[in-house]
Amino acid sequence: MRIRVKSHGEGHGEGHGGGTGLRRLAGRLRGWGGVSAMAAACAVTAAAVLLPLAHAAPDSGHPAPVREPASMAAAPAPWSLTDTCQDPEASLRPSGVDGPAIDRIRKAGRLVAGVDQNSFKWGYRNPVDGRLDGFDIALVKAIAKDILGDENAVIYRAIPTSQRVPALQDGRVDVVVRTMTINCKRLEDVAFSTAYFEAGQQVLAPKGSPITGYDASLNGHRICTAAGSTAEAALKAQPYGSVPVSVPNQLDCLVRLQLGEVDGIITDNALAAGQAAQDPSVRLVGSPFTKEFYGVAMNKDASDLVRRVNKVLENYRAGGDNSPWMQAYVTHLKPVLPGVAGPPAPKYRDG
C-alpha cells in the first residue's frame, strides 16, 4: 500500500515540500516497527479513520458502516483549568447489582469501548500481531470479563480525543477508556469511575531544542495539542507567546513534530513517556505542571454501570504488587514510566 503524507502547508498556500517531509519522517521513525510506522504516517490525515467510531447504538448488535465522525465541531469547548466542583475524582460507591445499562450490555453480548489505538503502551496496535494492546486495553478486558464473563467480548472503537464525550452522549459507546482526565467540566456531560491512574501535563520537545518546559521558552514556537484535551485548555489559558496548533489526535502532534511542522507538544507525561520511548530524538522537558487523574468515562444516566466499573476497579487494585493493576503496569508502562508505586486511592460519594 502506498501512503501519502499531506504536509502541514499543503492546500493552504504554504509549502513545506511533501518529499522533504516524508524523508525527514522516515529518518525519525527508527524503532517503531512496520505497523506502528504506518499508523504514524497515516495519522496526519486519517487518524480518525484507522479504527473509526461507527454511528450506531451499542445495543444494535450491528454497527453502521465504518466512517469518521461527522464533524469535529461537536466537541465541547475547552474548560477552565481551575476545577470548581468539590472532589471531582469522587465517584459512586461500587456495586455488583445489575441495572438498565448492564442489562443492555448483556443483551447485546458485547461491551462497546471507545479507545485509542495510537498511544504507545496505553492503547495501540501491537506491531507483532496487529492486535490492540496496552494498559487501557487491559482494563477494558477486565470490565468485559466481569460483566460478560469473557474478556474478548468487546467491540473496540477508536475515537479522536475531541469525540470522547460526544460518543458517550450519543450512545455510540458504553465506556471510554482512553487516558481521559476527570475534571469538573467533563462531569457536566459524562460520569466517571474512580481514578485508575495519576498523570500530569508536561512538554515534549526534540533533544537540543531551546524549549525548557511550560514557560517563557515557548515564545515564538509552534506548540501542538490535541483538540478537546486538558493540554489545549492549558495552552489557551497561558500560551507564553507560543503559536498553538490543534489536531484531532495526540499522535498527530508527534508526527507533526517529526515532520518539523511544530516545535513542541504539550500532553500528559504518561503518554509522552511512551512517545519518547518510540522516538529517541525527543524528550520530556521541565516538570509536570498539573496533577490529573484518569477515569473510565460513561453516560451520565448509566449509574449502574458506573458502580459496576468501580467494583471492577476495587478488585483490579487489590493485592498490592500482585494486583491486576500492578501486573498491567509492569507489563505495559514500567519500561517507559518507571517509579510508579501503585494506583491512586479511590474516592467515593453518596448519591
The predicted pLDDT at position 84 comes to: 67
Q: For 94-163, give the DSSP string.
A: P-----HHHHHHHHHTSEEEEE-SEETTTEEE-TTT--EESHHHHHHHHHHHHHHS-TT-EEEEE--GGG
What single letter denotes the amino acid at residue 161?
T
Q: Which three cell numbers stand for residue 327?
A: 501486573
Residue 332 is given by DSSP the state I
Distances (CA, A) of 86 to 169, 180, 181, 220, 301: 23, 19, 16, 37, 21
The predicted pLDDT at position 83 comes to: 57
Residue 319 is given by DSSP the state T
223 and 245 Cβ atoms separated by less than 8 Å: yes
| Nearest-angstrom CA–CA distance, 224 and 244 | 6
Dihedrals phi, psi of 142, to nearest 5 degrees: -65, -40
Helix (H) or strand (E) holding 222: strand 222-226
The predicted pLDDT at position 101 comes to: 98
Indicate the pTM of the whole model. Answer: 0.75
Q: At what angle do helices 34-46 and 250-258 cross, to 10 degrees?
A: 100
The residue among 210, 211, 200, 205 whose CA lies nearest residue 264 is 205
For the chain, give the mean pLDDT.
81
Print pLDDT tens along the chain (351 aa).
332 333 333 333 333 333 444 444 444 443 333 333 433 433 333 333 334 443 334 444 333 322 233 333 333 333 344 456 889 999 999 999 999 999 999 999 999 999 999 889 999 998 899 899 999 999 999 999 999 999 999 999 999 888 999 999 999 999 999 999 999 999 999 999 999 999 999 999 999 999 999 999 999 999 999 998 889 999 999 999 999 999 988 888 999 999 999 999 999 999 888 888 888 899 999 999 999 999 999 999 999 999 999 999 999 999 999 999 999 999 999 998 888 999 999 999 986
